[in-house]
Amino acid sequence: MNAIAQHAQLHSTPLQSGALQIRGLSKSYRIEGQPLPVLQNINLDVRPGEFVSVVGASGCGKSTLLRLIVGLEADYQGEIVLDAKRVVATSLERGIVFQDHRLFPWMTLSQNIALALKNHPLSPAEKQRLVAEHIALVNLQGFENAYPHQLSGGMAQRAAIARALINKPKVLLLDEPLGALDALTRVRLQHELQRIWVQQRCTVIMVTHDIEEALYLGDRVIVMDAHPGRIKHEIRVDLPHPRDRTSTVLQGYKEQLLEELVGH
Amino acid sequence: MSRILAKSRGLLLPLLLIGGWEYLSRQGAAGAYAFVPLSSIGAALIELLGNGELLINLWASLARTSTGLALGILSGVLLGVLMALSAIANRLIGPLFHSIRQVPMLGWIPLIAMWFGNGEFSKVLIVSLAAFYPMVLNTYQGFSHVEQRYREVGHVLALSRWQRFRHVLLPAALPSIATGVLHALAFAWVTAVGSELFLSSGAGLGNLMMNAEAGSRMEVIVLSVLCIGLCGYLMTLLFTLLSRHVLRWRNIR
């Protein structure tokens, strides 16, 4: 705990950074010469330190939205602006965790996490300390030298979260990070994600299929519609963190959200 | 006991072969000529070890193979990487490379002999060519099949071009490169001995065989064949162990 507090001081970024503005964002792919709209006129304002969940049917472009924000897809209409800078390419200011952990199988857990610090002007000793701190943050002490194939799915995903956090990104993007895990591990990791986010307070946008997960973690839940992908609805979850997953208030939001998604 | 038996299962077939060989060698004079008795092979081994001929020739063949292999692997990896990473290079060099590699190694020997003579240079050139082809093919394969999801991580972590090559592409291609080396090793060894048979100058196991044929010393020929097989087997075994260590991150069960 102490080490984490020190780390926060060391890398202190002004709390106001991490403001994301998306204005009139549209994106289409070309399939056999025909433009296929994936996202249409997305407008979204995310406050610094806010946790936004995005839910919606498959094909509503929610993963594409994250890929655009992180900078893996460059070609888009409209504006994606992070702290007054337009997003044009990938940057260490924006971290992402994919559904598949994407740890490099040829590196040990600590090598994988250390790779994210490759271009930091820190001394090797400082880097080593940061890596150890982040391994502790996600409770993976003792597995530093394990190769990814020796880790369980939940452990690998926690390592991926540590790799995304070690650069202190202004925005952390989570693309169905717990989607491939079993139910029990998922609940445990939701709890850990909440704890980590309360500690780090970076801006988070999480895409998920799981309505309960979206409500449990999000300050806001964005509902998207498909063909073409657009924002359909938005729910503000007025509950302080950390939350109780059995709260009746969450239950009420859940019914509201189900109504919105399934429609009657 | 059963564990010892299980471990020595690989020896069963060779032992049967030796037994059969010895049996055939005792079937009259013709049999003794075609299948030299084990005792004369043993005597030849002691003789050639004693006068140093075996080790000199073995060493010459091994040195030739290693030099050719090193050159072939180096140039093959370089060309394979170039073709995989540059579409222009692939379009320029690809067709030429794929037509040239259809020519069997034996087909090159007369041409190379005419150009460069039958000395050491020609032999090393032939060996390195034999190692070169599988290295280009497997390196190209490895580098062009790096999964998109891993490439994307390299971009997300804001790695430079060189860092992406060093930490993402190269390790991802390494299993394929190792397969290439394994093929190159086998081809290089076979071609080294082959080139010695065709370009008979200097030392080498192939030359030992040619001389033995001229002097109708069947037992020396058989001894050379055994040496070639055993050395090839040991080299493959060593490399397999080495690559298993280097690629220990792979999940092979």
Residue A14: per-residue pLDDT = 46
**Sign of the CA dihedral running A117, A123, A129, A133:** negative
Q: Is the pLDDT of residue A24 over 90?
A: yes
**Sign of the CA dihedral running A158, A138, A20, A242:** positive
| DSSP assignment of A129-159 | HHHHHHHHHTT-TT-TT--GGGS-HHHHHHH
Residue B86 lies in a domain: no
Q: Please report, in angstroms and rounded to a whole number, the separation of the first and last CA atoms in chain A.
A: 48
Residue B1: per-residue pLDDT = 65
- Residue B153 in contact with partner chain A when CB distance is under 8 A: yes
- Residue A58 in contact with partner chain B when CB distance is under 8 A: no
Residue B217 lies in a domain: yes
Residue B251: per-residue pLDDT = 74
What's the whole-number mean pLDDT along residues A154-183?
Answer: 93
Are the beta carbons of A119 and B159 separated by less than 8 Å?
yes
pTM, to two decimals: 0.86
Alpha carbon distances (Å) from B185 to B65, B130, B236? 8, 9, 7
Q: Is the pLDDT of residue A259 over 60?
A: yes
Most confidently modeled range among A156-165, A177-186, B23-32:
A156-165
Of all residues in chain A, the percent with pLDDT exceeding 70 is: 93
Residue B34: per-residue pLDDT = 78
Residue B46 lies in a domain: no
**CB contacts, 8 Å: B164 with chain A:** none
Q: Give chain B's mean pLDDT.
A: 91
Residue B201 lies in a domain: yes
Which A positions 112-141 lie with beta carbon below 8 A of chain B? 115-116, 118-119
Per-residue burial over B29-59, b = 16 or more CB atoms within 10 Å of its CB, e = otherwise: eeeeeebbbeebbeebbeebeeeebbeebbe
**CB contacts, 8 Å: B161 with chain A:** none
CATH number at residue B114: 1.10.3720.10
Q: Is the pLDDT of residue A3 over 60?
A: no
B159: containing domain: 103-247
Residue B253: per-residue pLDDT = 52
pLDDT tens string B69-106 = 999 999 999 999 999 999 999 999 999 999 998 988 88
Element (H, E) at B161: helix B161-164
Residue B47 lies in a domain: no
Name the residue among A188, A131, A190, A191 with its Cα closest to residue A162.
A131
Residue B175 lies in a domain: yes
Q: Which of A94, A101, A104, A171 to mutate to test the interface with B (most CBs of B within 10 A)?
A: A104
Which residue of chain B has the CA closest to A148? B249
pLDDT tens string B137-188 = 999 999 999 999 999 999 999 999 999 999 999 999 999 999 999 999 999 9
Cβ atoms of residues A48 and A19 within 8 Å: yes
The β-bridge partners of A45 are A21
Instruction: Name the domain count of chain B.
Output: 1
- Residue A264 in contact with partner chain B when CB distance is under 8 A: no
Q: Is the pLDDT of residue A8 over 50?
A: no
Of all residues in chain B, the percent with pLDDT exceeding 90 is: 60
Q: Set out the domains of chain A in order of their start, with CATH numbers.
A: 17-102+149-262 (3.40.50.300)
Tell me if residue A86 falls in helix, strand or coil: strand
Residue B11 lies in a domain: no
Alpha carbon distances (Å) from A33 to A75, A226, A227? 16, 21, 18
User: A48 versus A74: which is more confidently predicted?
Assistant: A48
Residue B138 lies in a domain: yes
- ipTM, 2 dp: 0.88
